[in-house]
Amino acid sequence: MKSPDFFSLISSTGKRYVNTPLRLYLLFFVLSQILYQIGLTSTTMHVFDESHYISAAQVLLDEGRIKITEHPPLGVQIIATGIKLFGDNPFGWRAASALFGSLLIVALMMLCFACGLRPAQVIYIATLSLCSAFIYIHARIAMLDIFMATLIVFAIAVFVTALTAADKSTKILLLVLSAMLWGFAVACKWTAVIGFAATLYYMLMLKIVKSMRLSRYQMHFSYSWHDPRYLANINIISLYTVYLASFFAAYALPYFLVGEFNIVHAVKESWELQHLVPAEHNYYSAAWKWPLMLRPIWYEYVGDSNNKLQAILCLGNPVILLAGLVGLIYSFFSWWKYQSLFSFLCLFFYGAFYGAWFITAREAAYHYYYFVPSLFLLLSLGQQCSLGLGAKRRYIAYGILALAALLFVWYFPVTSGLPLLPKDHNLLRLWAWFVAWI
């Protein structure tokens, strides 16, 4: 008797024991929390830009004012909430990041289910996401990127759910919710505006495609944009929400009250400061270098009191980043031949979030800016590997997942910040395979 393959086994098990997405969400939320909480407080010093955001959160709590004005305030307020709940200590600094890291895994799964992927595929992609060094690192440090990324993926997941909803009132309600999530994402970092603008463009294209009756590109959506007012109303609500959410905390809870505050001036100042970031930096990396990992960043490289190495190398998982590029090529053919919604979204948002860096006026650029685009690489790779068609395809899927897990474990000593190895510069070659990685 022929034994069932991995995906058939997972599918049958999923139908019996994981018959609702909610249980899968809970399972991977718990698994990721266990992973992210191990040694979360081992690094007692500020890591990389934590020095800016943690000090800003402390000023917000102590003096009730916004110290950092080059970014919208929501991300700092989230960090401040963690400090207020758990204390001004390493756990309090990073508790919110760990929470949002797990929520990011859930958001990726929600997007997969919204696009109609099978439970086996969702499990594969969720497992692959646990091997993502980008997610792991940012879920364990107090920076803004993990908050923005999580809200972006939630916004896209709700947006797709809205477009595939049959009921018109449900569709409008979900689109408003998606717009609010985009607003919160932009309230963390202005980078989210890229995805928000791409989403509005996508909605416009859906209207044009429907009017031109181009069935190949309609992606099997059940939408009803017969009345252009729907599109206009959602646009207005979305834009309104973005600006209100960016500074909502300045007027909301008394805990966050900052007194006199001019929103227009704050937005203008934030925009101007974004262009004053110096381009000359030891870890400067042009956008074209990110997919090939030509200039990663050492967030931390110090020795503890016992001369043990504590290091955090922001590189990403090489398997996911490199194989993901191949996955994007397959996604293009999957979309073109089978009109796959999921494949199209991976291509569309990867192109939007990555391509925008080639036309931006901002001169400073670093490898960790590739974090958000890498999420769509991961999704694309996971989808193509988890199709499970034919014996050869299954072994490729097993091999990529195993190799990604192996490299995650291999790089764990220099991504976790845990004092696992002696501080010996000769050991660097175990992880810094090229001179540019040092």
Task: Give me the helices (H) in 5-118, please.
Answer: 6-17, 21-37, 50-63, 74-86, 90-114
**264 has a pLDDT exceeding 80:** no
Look at the block and give the residue holding tokens 């499970």.
Answer: 388
d(C-alpha 227, C-alpha 217), whole Å: 20
Mean pLDDT along residues 284-307 = 84
Looking at the domain assignment, is residue 11 inside a domain?
Answer: no
Coil, helix or strand at residue 140: coil
How high is the pLDDT of residue 265?
57
**322 has a pLDDT exceeding 80:** yes
How high is the pLDDT of residue 138?
95
State the amino acid at position 396 in one-letter form. Answer: I
Provide the phi-psi class of 45: left if phi over 0, else alpha when psi is between -120 and 50, else beta: beta
Coil, helix or strand at residue 108: helix
Range of the structural domain that residue 132 is part of: 19-437
How high is the pLDDT of residue 406?
96
**Residue 300 carries which DSSP code?**
E
Mean pLDDT along residues 429-434 = 84
Which tops the pLDDT comparison, 281 or 300? 300
Render pLDDT for 147-205 as a digit per residue (tens, 0 to 9): 999 999 999 999 888 877 777 778 778 888 888 888 888 888 888 888 888 887 777 66
Looking at the domain assignment, is residue 260 inside a domain?
Answer: yes
Render pLDDT for 66-75 as a digit per residue (tens, 0 to 9): 766 677 888 8
Which of 131-140, 166-175, 316-325 has the least mean pLDDT?
166-175
- pLDDT tier for residue 278 given thresholds of 50, 70 and 90: low
Looking at the domain assignment, is residue 39 inside a domain?
Answer: yes
Number of domains in the chain: 1
Mean pLDDT along residues 406-418 = 91
Residues 6+ apart with CB under 8 A from 86: 92, 95
How high is the pLDDT of residue 236?
55
CA-nearest of 316, 302, 276 to 145 is 316
Render pLDDT for 330-378 as a digit per residue (tens, 0 to 9): 889 888 888 888 898 999 999 999 999 988 766 678 899 999 999 999 9
Looking at the domain assignment, is residue 4 inside a domain?
Answer: no
Which tops the pLDDT comparison, 152 or 272? 152
**96 has a pLDDT exceeding 90:** yes
Q: Are 206 and 221 in contact (CB under 8 A)?
A: yes
Looking at the domain assignment, is residue 2 inside a domain?
Answer: no
The rounded mean pLDDT for the chain is 79
Which tops the pLDDT comparison, 296 or 248? 296
d(C-alpha 339, C-alpha 282), whole Å: 44
Share of the chain above pLDDT 70, in %: 74
How high is the pLDDT of residue 223?
43
Which tops the pLDDT comparison, 20 or 400? 400
- pLDDT tier for residue 257 given thresholds of 50, 70 and 90: very low
Looking at the domain assignment, is residue 9 inside a domain?
Answer: no
How high is the pLDDT of residue 325?
94
Which tops the pLDDT comparison, 250 or 288? 288
How high is the pLDDT of residue 166?
76
Render pLDDT for 48-90 as a digit per residue (tens, 0 to 9): 888 889 988 898 888 777 766 677 888 888 999 999 999 999 9
How high is the pLDDT of residue 245?
54
Looking at the domain assignment, is residue 131 inside a domain?
Answer: yes
> What does pTM read for this prediction?
0.86
CA-nearest of 85, 291, 73 to 189 is 73
Looking at the domain assignment, is residue 315 inside a domain?
Answer: yes
